[in-house]
């Protein structure tokens, strides 16, 4: 198999215009700098309410709504994503919003362009880990660039939510402990490679990255907000929140 991260990069580059159109329809990217609650849950905000003048890195920034919200809160934000076309869209929007953001194209599991211990907060949210072939390496990089006593915040779609797909119908597409890889095709016929990491995989990887757990939470029930969500049992959790604090002396 070719490098799955590069295959996903090609796919996200191809999908960038479609995601741009969807984000424009939502309009959240324009509003979130002044209203971060449009992007972050109350649980996240309890750890992000003092980011002003702090160095924050968003890994797997995608539509960059989290980046814009953090910049609007006064943080010095670095946005990292594997797709250069996604970042081009984000740069245009940051200019429209008048936000000063640093953008870096890179693989979140290998970030030689970022120095050790250079951020007060590292954030990843949405559905980033599903594209990553080694969650341990991903979270280890987050821990490496985090300053001692800094916060590593992970807000992922809950792993059980990711077990359904619009093409598989009411049955899960795989068993919970089958971590993949799984190959799908984009509308343009490009291969997408996904991985399935359990809740325990996420928690253990945060701990292995040198962080003491400050909070672990499962919240919200699934609802029909996306195409595949109609197959997910509504009683299942929608989000997994993990907050770790890097050990060591500041």
* Model confidence pLDDT, tens digit, residues 153-172: 999 999 998 888 766 678 88
* pLDDT band per the 50, 70, 90 thresholds, residue 187: confident
State the CB neighbour count (10 A cutoff) for residue 122: 31
229, two tokens = 């969500």
User: Looking at per-residue confidence, does 28 or 164 come out higher?
Assistant: 28
| C-alpha–C-alpha distance, residues 159 and 156, integer Å | 8
For the cut 70, the answer to whether the pLDDT of residue 229 exceeds it is no
Structural domain of 23: 4-246
Number of domains in the chain: 1
For residues 90-104, average pLDDT: 98
For the cut 80, the answer to whether the pLDDT of residue 224 exceeds it is no
* pLDDT band per the 50, 70, 90 thresholds, residue 61: very high
Q: To the nearest whole number, what is the mean pLDDT of the chain?
A: 93
Residue 16 host element (H or E): helix 4-26
Instruction: Tell me the percentage of the chain whose pLDDT exceeds 90.
Output: 80
At residue 1, the pLDDT reads 43
Packed helices 4-26 and 84-97: angle between N→C axes, nearest 10 degrees: 30
| C-alpha–C-alpha distance, residues 218 and 207, integer Å | 18
Q: What is the CATH number of the domain that holds 121?
A: 3.40.50.150
At residue 161, the pLDDT reads 86
Q: Are 180 and 195 in contact (CB under 8 A)?
A: yes
Between strands 182-185 and 146-157, the pairing is unpaired
For residues 57-75, average pLDDT: 97
The burial class, CB within 10 Å (0-12 / 13-18 / 19+), for 91 is: middle
Find where tokens 């479609």 sit.
18
């Amino acid at each position: 198999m070719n490098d799955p991260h590069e295959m996903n990069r090609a796919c996200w580059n191809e999908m960038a215009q479609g995601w741009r159109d969807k984000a424009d329809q939502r309009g959240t990217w324009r509003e979130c700098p002044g209203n971060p609650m449009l992007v972050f849950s109350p649980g996240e905000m309890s750890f992000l309410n003092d980011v002003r003048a702090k160095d924050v890195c968003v890994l797997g920034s995608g539509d960059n709504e989290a980046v814009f919200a953090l910049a609007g809160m006064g943080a010095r934000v670095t946005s990292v994503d594997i797709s250069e076309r996604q970042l081009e869209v984000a740069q245009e929007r940051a200019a429209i919003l008048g936000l000063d953001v640093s953008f870096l194209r890179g693989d979140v599991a290998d970030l030689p362009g970022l120095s050790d211990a250079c951020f007060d907060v590292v954030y990843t949210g949405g559905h980033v880990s599903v594209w990553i072939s080694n969650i341990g390496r991903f979270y280890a990089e987050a821990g490496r660039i985090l300053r001692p006593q800094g916060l590593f915040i992970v807000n992922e779609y809950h792993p059980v939510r990711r077990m359904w797909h619009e093409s598989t119908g009411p049955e899960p597409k795989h068993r919970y402990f089958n971590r993949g890889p799984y190959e799908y095709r984009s509308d343009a016929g490009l291969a997408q490679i996904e991985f399935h990491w359990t809740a325990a995989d996420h928690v253990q990887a945060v701990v292995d990255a040198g962080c003491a757990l400050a909070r672990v939470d499962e919240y919200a029930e699934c609802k029909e907000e996306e195409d595949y969500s109609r197959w997910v049992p509504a009683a299942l959790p929608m989000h997994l929140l993990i907050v770790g604090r890097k050990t060591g002396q500041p």
